[in-house]
Chains A and B, each alone.
Chain A
Amino acid sequence: MIWLVGGILGVVILQTTITPLVELGQVRPDLFLLLLYLGSYKMSPVRACLWGSVLGLYEDALSGAPLGLNVFTLSLLGYALVRVREELEETRLVPHVVLLFLAGLSSGLMTLGVLAFFGMGRELGESLIWVVLPTAVYTTAVGALLLFGTRLGRLVEVKL
């Protein structure tokens, strides 16, 4: 429980106050998605879905998004990520990085779809170029670094 609350608080602070400092072309990594991905390593699909909903609530509250937008995307992604990851080998890094990129891409496309459904549609081409793709790439890059760092740490621990 403490881990969950700490995770939410940490990601809220990092996303709203620290990531603007590392903004590239008005794009920042989606740390909420990253936390969902990392958290889902130790969760069942149901728990990941609920975890995604809570994270989504906070992301919506701290943005101009209508409440429920990120609840929808992150709860679905939380569920799907665990189901897909059950099929992946734990030791190989590349499939995990690819999965994270696909999760980022899906999150962007779902957001685009939901916004269009509720009459807040954005221009498809512009959104894909300026938001969906760059966010997915940036989030994946940060996630890959974290995953690589974690693996490296574990390797050093084993050697020692």
Chain B
Amino acid sequence: MILRLLAKYRRTVVLASAVLVSFLLMTMEVRQEENLTPFLKRLLLESVSPFLKATTYVKHTAQEIWDNYVDLRFVRQENLRLHEEIEALQTRLRVLEEADRENLRLKDLLGLRGRVSFTVVPAGVVGKDATNWFHSLLIDLGARDGMRRHMAVIAPGGLVGQIVEVSRSSARVQLITDPVSSVGALLQTSRVTGLLVGARSGRLRIRYLPVRAEVREGEVVITSGLGGVYPKGILVGKVAAVDRRSGALFQEAIVEPSIDFSRLEGVLVVAGEGSRPLRSQRREE
């Protein structure tokens, strides 16, 4: 009887089941109570991870061959230009070394804590978010390489985001441009802090800036270190515009990120503060 009914209303039953299962999965994920959804995500990610890595490897190799060919054509001119640049940078470095020494000496005199250093692990980008709704990256390091959720991810140009999902051999990094990302930010000149959130246009927005703070266009934005995920002092970008509305309790700033996220091929995962290697930290945990 039941089987006959099921056969009769097969279309409706299948459609209703698909809708029900999807809502069940979403409820579980949103509530973060069950272990089923992270497990399923890890399983699906793991099933395609080797193919993504292989494709990225082929893509990078082809890109490298082409770049090497192009580079060879301009190598002499480039060499001369680089020599000049090295000389200029060496002069600048000597001045900065002197300033650094003076800085350390003054810090010692004032009894301030030394600069925090952190260990980083290089990782390759093997894929980007499959939808246009979220901004994330897939990297080629996973749980077996010591990756964990909420590890900060940076690049030579500045802040990238944080790890939000980890499977055995890969991890997903939520970019700071993601609409649900939030980072504690500090404006370097005016020394005010705010909450940096992603915006759809690819720019970032700093919320909750004191209305009396004098925020200027072009001001450098760094991480504030508040919240515990991102170390303090990592470059985020520059203020592109300031949004002051009359009567508002706070002002907002639009920030141009220092990184072109569409061109990221490799990132650095902040494995931990201090100079301890990752393995010893894991052992301690």
Give me the interface of A with B, judged by CB distance under 8 Å: 9, 12-13, 15-20, 23, 26-28, 30, 32, 45-46, 49-50, 52-53, 56-72, 75-76, 79, 111, 114-115, 118-120, 122-123, 126-127, 130-131, 134-135
Partner-binding segment picked from B15-23, B77-85, B114-122: B15-23
Tell me the minimal C-beta distance from A2 to chain B in angstroms.
15
Q: Is the CB of B138 within 8 A of A16?
A: yes
**Contact of A65 (CB < 8 Å), options: B14, B56, B134, B262:** B134
Kindly state the separation between the CA atoms of A118 and B133 in the bound complex, as whole angstroms. 15
The answer for the CA separation of A75 and B59 in the assembled complex, in Å, is 32
Query: Which residues in B have their C-beta under 8 angstroms from that of A49?
Result: 14-15, 18
Q: Which residues of A contact B238 (CB under 8 A)?
A: none
Contacts of B11 in A (CB 8 A): 45-46, 79
Question: Which of chain B's residues 114-147 have a Cβ closer than 8 Å to chain A?
Answer: 126-136, 138
- A111 nearest in chain B by CB position: B133
Contact A63 B129 (CB under 8 A): yes
B24 within 8 A of A: yes
Query: Chain A interface secondary structure, helix, strand, loop or mixed?
Result: helix
| Complexed CA–CA distance, A64 and B29 (Å) | 11
CB atoms of A118 and B129 under 8 A apart: no
**Separation in Å of the B173 CB from the closest CB of chain A?**
10
Residue of A nearest to B202 (CB): A26
Cβ 8 A contact of A64, one of B59, B126, B172, B201: B172
In the complex, are the beta carbons of A119 and B200 less than 8 A apart?
Answer: no
Bound complex: CA of A35 vs CA of B48, how far in Å?
17
Residue of B nearest to A57 (CB): B44
| Bound form: Cα–Cα A13–B47 in Å | 12
Contact A72 B22 (CB under 8 A): yes
Give chain A nearest CB distance to B131 CB in angstroms.
4
Task: Give the Cβ gap from B245 to chain A, nearest Cβ, in Å.
Answer: 16
User: How many residues from B make CB contacts under 8 Å with A?
Assistant: 49
Question: Does B134 contact A13, Cβ atoms closer than 8 Å?
Answer: no
Contact of B180 with A120 in the complex, beta carbons under 8 Å: yes
Find A17's partner among B14, B126, B172 (CB 8 Å cutoff). B126
Centre residue among A9, A12, A27 by max chain B CB count within 10 A: A12
User: Does any Cβ of A come within 8 Å of B10's Cβ?
Assistant: yes
Chain B residues with Cβ below 8 Å from A69 are 22, 26
List of A residues within 8 angstroms of B134 by Cβ? 63-65
Closest to A119 in B: B30
Cβ–Cβ contact B130 & A59, under 8 A: yes
Would you call A67 and B29 a contact (CB within 8 A)?
yes
Q: Is the CB of A130 within 8 A of B52?
A: no
Can you list, as one digit per residue, whether each of B155-166 has a CB less than 8 Å from chain A (1) or not (0)? 000000000100
Nearest A-chain residue to B36, judged by Cβ: A67
In the bound assembly, the distance between CA atoms of A32 and B56 in angstroms comes to: 20
- The complex places the Cα of A127 from the Cα of B174 at a distance, in Å, of 19
Establish whether residues A63 and B44, one from each chain, have CB atoms under 8 Å apart when the complex forms: no
Is the pair A67, B25 in contact by a Cβ cutoff of 8 Å?
yes
Contact of B26 among A9, A17, A28, A118 (CB under 8 A): A118
A53 to B23, CA, bound (A): 12
User: How distant is the Cα of A126 from the Cα of B21 in the complex, in angstroms?
Assistant: 30
B18–A53 touching, CB < 8 Å: yes
Count chain A CB atoms within 10 A of each CB in B41, B133, B174 and give the residue with the most: B133
Which residues between 232 and 249 of chain B lie within 8 Å of chain A, taking CB atoms?
none
> Is the beta-carbon distance between A72 and B23 smaller than 8 angstroms?
yes
Nearest B residue to A132 by beta-carbon distance?
B132
Known A26-B202, A57-B40; 7 more pairs at CB < 8 Å: A17-B127, A45-B15, A62-B138, A63-B131, A66-B25, A67-B40, A122-B179
Interface centre among B56, B178, B179 (most CB of A within 10 A): B179
CA distance A8 to B202 in the complex (A): 29
> Is the beta-carbon distance between A30 and B14 smaller than 8 angstroms?
no
The chain B residue sitting closest to A62, CB to CB, is B130
Which residue in A17, A30, A71, A135 is a CB contact (below 8 Å) of B21?
A71
Separation in Å of the B21 CB from the closest CB of chain A? 7
Which of A13, A64, A134 has most chain B Cβ within 10 Å?
A: A64
Whether the pair A64, B164 counts as a contact (CB closer than 8 A) is yes
B30 lies within 8 A of A30 (CB): no
Assembly CA distance A67 to B23 (angstroms) = 9
